[in-house]
Structure 1
């Protein structure tokens, strides 16, 4: 099992999720900044420091991670069944709160929660969420990467509700740890954290 060290003490960390709003962002503004990409969102920013995923199926179904062999950053998962030597494994706990232990992260319904906890373990004092929309795009699009996701669309409203409940559960512990979180999508359905324009988060 892998343990995180605080290599980014006091820094701002950008977490790149895969909501459709990512397509409207000028991601070149991430140049030189700390970035954790969640699952296939790394395709939008291959220079991310970390690629994080919780669902082992995402790694096993290779059409969901095209070109990932070229990813030069750190790859981290909570999926214990993944035995690839490139992938660091870390323990998962239920997300009643964020973990303060550098060998584990909290999450259940969304890898973004685990990425938030990961950023805090790295030493982040400010976290900016990108693509955390919790709703479909204007054309019914679920993801910015447009890959053929194998999970059924019918459960999406409940999935969004579960994700928001998870964010509400972990928000107080992030604040107690002295970490500021902002959502760089003024139109996001996630209202737990302040919603700002991406440009205003830099």
Structure 2
């Protein structure tokens, strides 16, 4: 049975924690008491997140990618229909020409962050703050803040980032129509479709 998102956070600010290298420079203790959706292994930076979301089923089945995820105490949600773990809620995925207004589905294609944004809106978010949404490598060539080794080839990174940027551009107008403000808490992010602010200015 597929899951439908309850409107449990009406009017709230929701932080979507992705895993770009910029996360390592943030004081995440400022998230205490706030609503947080962690994308894949970014939950390792903030285990108190309300929700852990992933779209790539390989992330769940490859345990080296999700060390100790069994210890995550919050809600776990995926669009990967092959996941049969009873702890994981499954929700329908649709193509991201725009964000979905239906609580039983989320839009995404090339990045789980899009799905996490859509989840936040279904929960009732009025404002979404993006953390670690960099769409580029860190200064030392690192792609992820958590430092876990991704077992798939790196050759497609430039195209992967380009695809993510295109996806964000596609969904941005629909968030505006839904009356949801989105800000990116990384002034140096390659994602420029939303205002880029310092983390402290987003609180």
Question: Same fold judged by TM-score > 0.5?
Answer: yes
SS at match of 1:63: coil
What TM-score, normalized to structure 1?
1.00
Matched residues in 1 for 2:169 and 2:132: separation?
17
- The answer for the alignment partner of 1:162 in structure 2 is 163
SS at match of 1:62: coil
- The answer for the alignment partner of 2:120 in structure 1 is 119
Per-residue displacement from partner, 1:93-148 (whole Å, max 9, x unpaired)? Answer: 00000000000000000000000000000000000000000000000000000001
Q: Give the total of aligned pairs.
A: 202
- The answer for the alignment partner of 1:10 in structure 2 is 11
- The answer for the alignment partner of 1:180 in structure 2 is 181
SS at match of 1:35: strand
Per-residue displacement from partner, 1:62-118 (whole Å, max 9, x unpaired)? Answer: 010101111000000000000000000000000000000000000000000000000
Matched residues in 2 for 1:69 and 1:82: separation?
14
CA drift of 1:151 comes to 2.0
- Taking the TM superposition and a 5 Å limit, the aligned residue runs for 1:122-161 are 122-161=123-162
Unpaired runs of 5+ residues, structure 1, are: none
Per-residue displacement from partner, 1:13-70 (whole Å, max 9, x unpaired)? Answer: 0000000000000000000000000000000000000000000000000010101111
Runs of 4+ in structure 1 over 4 Å off: none
What TM-score, normalized to structure 2?
0.99
SS at match of 2:93: strand
- The answer for the alignment partner of 2:86 in structure 1 is 85
- The answer for the alignment partner of 1:61 in structure 2 is 62
- The answer for the alignment partner of 1:100 in structure 2 is 101
SS at match of 2:128: strand
Unpaired runs of 5+ residues, structure 2, are: none
CA drift of 1:152 comes to 1.2
